[in-house]
């Protein structure tokens, strides 16, 4: 075997040592020893005489020995379970210390992972924004054309669609620590020719899951400085505080301080006690009860210069004045675009039709004719790109699997002969890969390059007329490889047991235990 072939057979960082030994991830040391002894009898170089077979056996035995040494060492096994093969390289990894227990290694790795996540968090923002348009399109469905004179009718024949209002909001969060978050936000809105806007920056500190405080500075029509705080005092009781200073461009200003207690009296009733300092100043007690069809509130306010008692009852009734409105909303990542289109001030069949049926039909047509073909084409191109990128690696894995199969043939012949004599478990056909539809004979698939014949590797794993495959991907078993990366794979097995035909198909990561009566296909 050439040097390049040996490099192809070298262990890779994605190697699954548990699948290679065909043992569960919680396997005890005794199971690891048994798997190592069983595979050593098959792949030990001293078991082979032919030079080419001996070289292949050296590569396979090296992989098995490495897996055994890692899983037999509690410290290295803990590192491998946490970060995989890459974690076994000691350069730059702080936790590889022989004085620490496996649990301490896992704990320290989790701490390092949290610190790394925190560093990523410090470098990442969370932008959010929205654009909202309010459009008046009632002229499209105006029904008063017969009442207009000729000059007005000429104007009416060209319906006017106008933007009556719009608003923009944008915010960016910058996590300073796991408890501190800075937020910069801005908003701008206009309606019927008038508008207003504000830019603000706030910092929030989370003291616990029951308490937080926030300071905010904003500039818009004036300068605004405010603070907010929240504290949960119990299961049904919480307190909030809000203080602000608002300075207007003309030199005037307002100062306010508001504190309140909220208590959940029952499932639908909430009581509030608030105290306000500033203009106006006063104390307010309020009880609010909300149901599905009504909202009731009673409020007592004592302040300067007025004191009063108020009560309200709101009952939800069917709307008498029905307006037709179309709302289009598009979300892209953290951005939201919304358009409110007022179609009619009256309930008209045409407005309802154009506001509901037409958008659905238009979206269905666009989706089927443009969007769906584009997405499907992109997915196929991406799959082909990944396939081309993995072609060389898949070819190397195929050569490795073929080398392992060549080492198994003599052992498999003896196992098969013994099983046939006892009418035990004989694997007649086995396929692994992208199986589209399981059936008798060769499985249907998208191409034979997406399948690998694993009849010999499975027969080699038969012991005392039983075959057990552990949970996890089967592509790392000796004699297996991944013929179709980035696709769902299955394993189809046809076998004889007591001279009766059986067949079973399982997903790639599902465990398999045969024989089973439920797999039988004939009497």
The predicted structure's pLDDT at residue 371: 85
At a CB cut-off of 8 Å and minimum separation 6, what does 92 contact? none
Decide: residue 340, CB within 10 A, 0-12 exposed, 13-18 middle, 19+ buried.
middle
Give me the mean pLDDT over the 238-256 stretch.
85
Specify whether the CB–CB gap between 200 and 216 falls below 8 A: yes
Place of tokens 């992989």: 63
Burial of 118-142, coded b for 16+ CB within 10 Å and e otherwise, reads: eeeeeeeeeebbbebebbbbbeebe
Give me the mean pLDDT over the 386-395 stretch.
78
CATH code where residue 84 lies: 1.10.287.110
Q: What are phi and psi of 370, to 5 degrees?
A: -120, -55
Please give the mean pLDDT across all residues of the chain.
80
Q: How many domains does the chain have?
A: 3
Residue 223, in any domain of the structure: yes
Q: Running DSSP on this structure, what letter comes out for residue 414?
A: H
The predicted structure's pLDDT at residue 1: 39
- 319 pLDDT exceeds 70? no
Q: Can you tell me the distance from the alpha carbon of 457 to that of 407, in angstroms, rounded to the nearest whole number?
A: 10
Residue 489, in any domain of the structure: yes
Residue 101, in any domain of the structure: no
The predicted structure's pLDDT at residue 138: 75
- 292 pLDDT exceeds 70? yes
Do 310 and 402 share a structural domain? no
Strand pairing of 128-136 and 335-344?
parallel
Q: Which residue, among 451, 412, 447, 458, has the nearest Cα to 432 in the 3D structure?
A: 451
Do 477 and 393 share a structural domain? yes
478/393: higher pLDDT: 478
- Longest alpha-carbon distance in the chain: 108
Of 241-250, 310-319, 372-381, 392-401, give the lowest mean pLDDT range: 310-319
Q: How many separate helices (H) and strands (E) can be counted in the chain?
A: 11, 22
CATH code where residue 296 lies: 2.40.160.10
Of 46-50, 297-301, 430-434, give the lowest mean pLDDT range: 46-50
CA torsion 266-268-273-277 (nearest 10°) is: 150
Q: What is the pLDDT of residues 82-91, one digit of tens each?
A: 777 766 654 3
Residue 414, in any domain of the structure: yes
Do 197 and 314 share a structural domain? yes
Do 132 and 72 share a structural domain? no
Global pTM reads 0.47
The predicted structure's pLDDT at residue 95: 44
Q: Which of 27, 59, 88 is the last residue of a domain?
A: 88
Q: What is the pLDDT of residues 447-505, one digit of tens each?
A: 456 889 999 999 999 999 999 998 888 888 998 988 887 788 899 999 999 999 999 99
Residue 70, in any domain of the structure: yes
- 153 pLDDT exceeds 90? no
Q: Can you tell me the distance from the alpha carbon of 433 to that of 444, in angstroms, rounded to the nearest whole number?
A: 11
Show the CA angle centred on residue 487, arms to residues 481 and 493, nearest 5°.
Answer: 55
Do 435 and 310 share a structural domain? no
192/425: higher pLDDT: 425
- 94 pLDDT exceeds 60? no
Do 130 and 82 share a structural domain? no
Q: What are phi and psi of 415, to 5 degrees?
A: -65, -45
Q: Can you tell me the distance from the alpha carbon of 422 to that of 98, in angstroms, rounded to the nearest whole number?
A: 50
Give me the mean pLDDT over the 409-422 stretch.
91
The DSSP bridge partners found for residue 162 are: 136
Q: Assign 3-class secondary structure to 334-400.
A: CEEEEEEEEEECCCCHHHHHHHHHHHHHHHHHHHHHHHHHHHHHHHHHHHHHHHHHHHHHHHHHHHH
The predicted structure's pLDDT at residue 93: 45
Do 417 and 286 share a structural domain? no
Which band of pLDDT confidence, cut at 50, 70 and 90, is reported for residue 256? confident
Do 268 and 185 share a structural domain? yes
Residue 168, in any domain of the structure: yes
- 285 pLDDT exceeds 90? yes
Do 129 and 84 share a structural domain? no
Do 70 and 173 share a structural domain? no
The predicted structure's pLDDT at residue 342: 77
When computed from its CA atoms, the radius of gyration of the chain, rounded to whole angstroms, is 36
- 325 pLDDT exceeds 80? no
Q: Which of 331, 364, 398 is the last residue of a domain?
A: 331
Do 208 and 77 share a structural domain? no
Residue 120, in any domain of the structure: no
The predicted structure's pLDDT at residue 299: 93
Of 171-175, 430-434, 462-466, give the lowest mean pLDDT range: 171-175
The predicted structure's pLDDT at residue 103: 64
- Residue 49 belongs to what domain range? 17-88
Residue 217, in any domain of the structure: yes
Give me the mean pLDDT over the 119-134 stretch.
72
Do 312 and 168 share a structural domain? yes
């Amino acid at each position: 075997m050439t040097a390049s072939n040996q490099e192809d057979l070298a262990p890779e960082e994605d190697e699954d040592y548990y699948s290679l030994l065909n043992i569960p991830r919680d396997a005890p040391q005794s199971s690891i020893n048994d798997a190592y002894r069983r595979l050593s009898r098959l792949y030990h170089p001293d078991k082979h005489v032919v030079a080419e077979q001996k070289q292949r056996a050296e590569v396979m035995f090296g992989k098995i020995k490495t897996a055994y040494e890692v899983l037999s060492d509690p410290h290295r096994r803990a590192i491998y379970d946490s970060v995989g093969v890459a974690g076994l390289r000691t350069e730059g990894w702080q936790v590889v210390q022989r004085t620490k227990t496996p649990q301490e290694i896992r704990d320290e790795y989790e701490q390092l992972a949290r610190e790394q996540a925190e560093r990523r968090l410090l470098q990442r923002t969370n932008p959010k924004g929205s654009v909202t348009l309010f459009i008046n399109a009632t002229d499209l469905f105006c029904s008063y054309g017969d009442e207009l004179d000729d000059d007005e009718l000429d104007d009416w024949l060209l319906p006017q669609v106008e933007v009556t209002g719009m608003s923009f909001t944008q915010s960016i969060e910058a996590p300073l620590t796991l408890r501190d978050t800075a937020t910069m936000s801005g908003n701008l809105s206009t309606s019927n020719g008038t508008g207003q806007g504000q830019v603000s920056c706030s910092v929030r500190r989370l003291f616990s899951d029951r308490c937080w405080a926030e300071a905010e500075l904003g500039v818009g029509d004036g300068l605004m400085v405010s603070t907010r705080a929240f504290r949960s005092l119990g299961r049904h009781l919480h307190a909030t505080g809000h203080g602000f200073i608002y300075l207007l461009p003309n030199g005037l200003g307002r100062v306010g301080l508001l504190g309140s207690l909220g208590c959940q009296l029952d499932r639908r009733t909430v009581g509030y006690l608030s105290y306000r300092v500033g203009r106006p100043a006063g104390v307010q007690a309020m009880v609010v009860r909300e149901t599905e069809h009504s909202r009731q509130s009673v409020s007592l306010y004592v302040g300067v210069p007025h004191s009063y008692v108020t009560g309200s009852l709101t009952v939800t009734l069917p709307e008498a004045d029905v307006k037709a409105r179309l709302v289009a909303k598009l979300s892209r990542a953290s951005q939201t675009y919304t358009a409110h289109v007022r179609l009619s001030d009256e309930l008209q069949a045409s407005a309802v039709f154009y506001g509901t049926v037409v958008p659905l039909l238009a979206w269905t047509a666009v989706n089927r004719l443009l969007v769906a073909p584009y997405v499907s084409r992109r997915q196929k191109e991406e799959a082909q790109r990944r396939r081309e990128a993995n072609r060389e690696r898949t070819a190397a894995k195929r050569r490795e699997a073929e080398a392992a199969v060549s080492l198994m043939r003599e052992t498999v012949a003896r196992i098969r002969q013994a099983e046939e004599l006892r009418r035990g478990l004989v694997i007649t056909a086995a396929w692994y890969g992208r199986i589209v539809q399981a059936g008798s004979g060769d499985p249907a698939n998208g191409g034979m390059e997406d399948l690998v014949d694993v009849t010999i590797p499975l027969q080699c794993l038969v012991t005392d007329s039983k075959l057990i495959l552990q949970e996890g991907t089967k592509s790392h078993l000796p004699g297996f490889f991944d013929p179709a990366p980035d696709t769902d794979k299955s394993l189809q097995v046809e076998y004889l047991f007591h001279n009766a035909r059986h067949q079973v198909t399982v997903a790639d990561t599902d465990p398999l235990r045969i024989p089973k009566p439920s797999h039988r296909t004939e009497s």
